[in-house]
A = this chain, B = another copy of it.
Amino acid sequence: MTSPHRESSEVGLHRVIEPAGVLPQGAWRLDNRASIWPDEVRVQVERLNLDAASYRQLHVKHQGVGAAIRAEVLDIVSNRGKMHNPVTGSGGMLIGTVAEAGPASPLGLEVGQRVATLVSLTLTPLAINDHLAGWDGLSEQVPCTGHAILFARSIAASLPEDLDPELALAALDVCGAPALTARVVGQVLSGESGVAPSVAVFGGAGKSGSLALAAARRAGAERTVGVVPHHAEADRLTASGLADAVVVADARDPVEVSAAVVETLGGPADICVVCVDVPGCEHGAILATAQGGTVVFFSMATSFAAAALGAEGLAADVTMLIGNGFLPGHAEYALRLLRTEPGVRGLFESRLGESGKPTYEPGTRKSGRGAED
């Protein structure tokens, strides 16, 4: 263990190299040394799950060439000491085994315990030791060998015994979405009108989208519609039975997608949950939401300015939430949905594919300028 000259901070400030004075999530570079401070935990990493927006950006940038994608991920981690996509600002999660737990760590983890981190890779010191030799660069799940560090204030979940680790990791990566969706539906139900809300989910066939649909229904939504970008996803979502209705529309086309929602629900949605992995969906979500309604943005590709100014420009009186990746009980809730909703499980398993690799299906892409192109 290190006898550091720097005192440990429960939020990891001691691992921030550059710039000074910011939290790990905001830092350009972290110290990813293996030796731990007394209140830290070192995890021997076995797999990363890159978040969808990040992986898509890398895939598009490198035109689907796995070796180039792999090279860039290695480069990012080497330069930054963490997996933090500089374009999307997002990261993902990881699973591994506890290798060492400092005597002052409050996390209650034991050496040998298998865990998933519940804090973003964008704040997790990480070192990769195997050049990602076991990853073909063609999916979000990244087998790797290396180590990661948890701070005193980090949170982690024990990997459940009854689920494949890849499945659990995929669900835990997005577990804020179902929890917050359920909360928002519940708030509307217990609000002034007491009327059960209609809920539209953009990207309804994806990981966070399918969980959000399941959560919305369980929380008492009156009617749900899953919006998907093409017919293969529509078929999968329909087969899952998770949504009351499924519609194909391009969420980047505000007129098209809002018309699709209005037509399907008979009016704009009370709640619109945005779970896409591409930029440019803010205006469609706002147009698809009723006055006085709520838009919940989970997509890491969301542009703050586009949402704020878009609503202003449309004189849209909608509440817009930045989807929080954390709610108390969120991990347990997501795993419960995974276990008890066959539709969710089926979608997740088909996404991971028969060989255990996720099948990546790039959608058609609008041309246009923007930070993420």
Contacts and interface: CB of A to CB of B under 8 A. Distances in A.
A7 B199 CA distance: 32
B308 A300 contact: yes
Contacts of A298: 308
Contacts of A310: 23, 25-26
A321 B319 contact: yes
B321 A322 contact: yes
Interface string A352-373: 0000000000000011110100
A294 to B, nearest CB: 10
A21 B282 CA distance: 13
A33 interface: no
A326 to B, nearest CB: 5
Contacts of A123: 309, 313
Interface residues of A, number: 69
Task: List the number of copies, as a whole number.
Answer: 2
B253 A306 contact: no
B91 A21 contact: no
30 contacts: A19-B366, A19-B369, A21-B366, A22-B253, A22-B366, A23-B314, A25-B313, A26-B306, A26-B310, A89-B306, A90-B305, A91-B309, A119-B313, A120-B312, A123-B309, A123-B313, A153-B314, A300-B305, A300-B308, A304-B322, A308-B324, A311-B324, A311-B325, A312-B325, A312-B326, A313-B325, A314-B326, A316-B324, A319-B324, A321-B322
Interface of A: 11, 13, 18-26, 28, 88-91, 118-120, 122-123, 153-155, 176, 250, 252-256, 280, 282-283, 297-298, 300, 302-328, 366-369, 371
